[in-house]
Structure formats: C-alpha cells, structure tokens
C-alpha cells in the first residue's frame, strides 16, 4: 500500500484512466489496495468505509483506541486524519492497540489538565516523525486529508455498519427540512445533567412543532413514550433502524405502517429528559427482532447518522 506506484493502480483499474484533480488521483492510488470498485469508493474516505478492507482497518486498528482517547479527552479525531495515512503505508494492520492510541494522541495538545485538538499541519508533522509513517510526504498527506475532511468530518467513535454500502443505495431524506435547525449536537460525550455520558444520536435543535420526516423508506416498528426519550418512534429498513425521540406527541402512525423517505411522521417537541426542544435522531445497524431490545447493547450497533445523511 505505498502512496504512489502506477503498477499498483494497473492491478485495480481495467478501464482507461480518467484524469482527476491531482489530490484525488493520489488518493485513488492510495486506496487501490483496498479493492475499491467505484469512483465513490476510490475517491472518498466514506466510500472506503463501505469496503470490507476499509471496515476492517477501522474496526481492528482505530476504533477502540479512538474511542478510549475520546473518553479520556472528550475530543474526537477526524476519520480522515488516521484513515488516509494508514492507507499509504505497507501494512497498517501491524499497528497494535497501544501504538494506535499513541498515534491518535498526536492530534492533541495539552493545556494544563485540558486537551485541545492540534492543527492538521502539526498532526501530520508529528505523524511522519513516527517510524511507521516516516516515508510519507507531508504535503501529499495533507492534500489528501483536506480533500476528504469534509465528507469524513464526523465524530470518529461508534460502529461502521457492515451494510453501509447497501444503506447508501436506499431512498433517504433528512429528518427535518434542511436549514430549519439552529444547531446540531453530534454523537459524542456530553454532560448536560452534570456527568459525562455517551450520547448515541444527533440532537437537531428545532422549534416545537417542526415537521419530522421519515429518513428512509421504512416500516414503523413501535411508537411509545419513555421517561428519557419522551414520545418516540422506531422505524426500520432491513437492518437499518431509525429512532426519533422527544416528539411533541406520539406519532399518528402505528406498528406495521410503511413510510417513504420524506413522509411526515410527526412533529418535534421537548418530551422526556431534555434541556430544550429538539429532535434526537439515532441510527443502529442490527437484525434484532424486537427493536427495543437493541437498547441493551446499543454500544455495539449504533453508528453516526452523518455516514448516510448530509447535514452540511
């Protein structure tokens, strides 16, 4: 998996090479060893994560160290910062857990007892001083990361669904009208009630009464009220499970109803344990028969909605 090498490219591409922007061209070469089979897979970190090798790289090398660093520092690292350089060295799978954690910590600057994220340039400079990455060209690494940072600018904790590529083919829609929100709290660790806790979904700040739309073609699994989530609806499409919490009132839909992406399913509110009106938008990947049972092990099935839905 060397960063350049036309021989590597020839092994993967059977069609004539199309002239791409220089940074994308480099990234194609770097990704080729992962067996990407489409332009989306070849030219984006998100696409790479739909491949078996890309998911293996995240799961086996980076997932646990990134999660541990996040829990200790409350700072997440961009997926592109670690995935891109990993794809440019011979064998990233030789990087063990403790070593991967040390590498992730290169993205942090210490300010007393607090941590802040360093700049991309500083991170890459530190990275290429490490023996595993010493042969990489700093400018090329930065160019490729910058070309992918927007699409991979998600909280780098959680799970990468094995069926992510299939989910991307579904008919999808934003759960609220684009631009209707005043802010978004991403998946991550927060302490709104005085203690740091993992928050498994996105909090989309919208006024009470904002229309909520089905985020995908789906079947309604259950509509219910809970002390924490308030008025909730759970929908699914195969193994993709979609959850909306804190609705103004229980959805008018019932178990077994089918919806198309973009169909109205209810209205936002502030029911349950909240600090203000918003939509809690959570996504899981699981074949659990009773979706509510997923709450008992959602650490292993939740994923960041930004992998599928573009809120930018």
pLDDT tens per residue, range 126-169: 999 999 999 999 999 999 888 876 655 555 567 889 899 899 99
Tell me phi and psi for residue 265, to 5 degrees: -120, -10
Contacts of 44 (CB under 8 A, 6+ apart): 148, 151, 152
The closest alpha carbon to 80, from 38, 124, 25, 122, belongs to 124
Dump pLDDT digits (tens) for 230-273: 999 999 999 999 999 999 999 999 999 999 999 999 999 999 98
Q: List pLDDT tens digits, range 18-44.
A: 333 444 444 554 455 544 443 344 357
Put simply, whether the predicted model's pTM sits higher than 0.85 gets the answer no
The two counts, helices (H) then strands (E), for the chain are: 11, 14
Angle at CA of residue 153, ends 148 and 155, nearest 5° = 140
């Amino acid at each position: 998996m060397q960063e350049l090498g036309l021989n590597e490219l020839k092994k993967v591409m059977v069609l004539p090479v199309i002239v791409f922007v220089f940074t994308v061209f480099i990234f194609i070469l770097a990704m080729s060893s992962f067996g990407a089979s489409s332009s989306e897979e070849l030219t984006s970190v998100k696409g790479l994560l739909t491949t078996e090798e890309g998911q293996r790289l995240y799961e086996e090398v980076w997932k646990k160290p990134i999660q541990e660093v996040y829990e200790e520092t409350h700072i997440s690292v961009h997926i592109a910062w670690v995935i891109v350089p990993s794809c440019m060295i011979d064998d990233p799978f030789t990087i063990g857990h403790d070593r991967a954690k040390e590498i992730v910590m290169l993205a942090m600057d210490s300010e007393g007892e607090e941590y802040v994220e360093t700049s991309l340039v500083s991170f890459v400079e530190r990275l290429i001083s490490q023996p595993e990455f010493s042969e990489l060209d700093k400018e090329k690494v930065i160019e490729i990361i910058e070309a992918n940072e927007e699409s991979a600018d998600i909280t780098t904790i959680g799970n990468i669904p094995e069926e992510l590529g299939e989910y991307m083919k579904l008919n999808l829609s934003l759960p609220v009208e684009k631009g209707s929100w005043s802010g978004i709290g991403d998946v991550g660790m927060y302490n709104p009630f005085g203690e740091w806790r993992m928050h498994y979904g996105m909090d989309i700040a919208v006024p009470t009464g904002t229309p909520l739309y089905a985020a995908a073609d789906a079947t309604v699994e259950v509509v219910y009220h809970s002390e924490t989530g308030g008025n909730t609806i759970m929908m699914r499409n195969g193994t993709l499970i979609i959850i909306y919490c804190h609705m103004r009132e229980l959805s008018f839909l019932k178990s077994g109803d089918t919806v198309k992406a973009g169909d109205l399913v209810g209205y936002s509110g502030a029911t349950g344990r909240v600090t203000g009106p918003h939509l809690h938008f959570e996504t899981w990947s699981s074949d659990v028969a009773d979706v509510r049972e997923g709450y008992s092990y959602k650490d292993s099935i939740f994923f960041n909605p930004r992998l599928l839905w573009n809120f930018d």
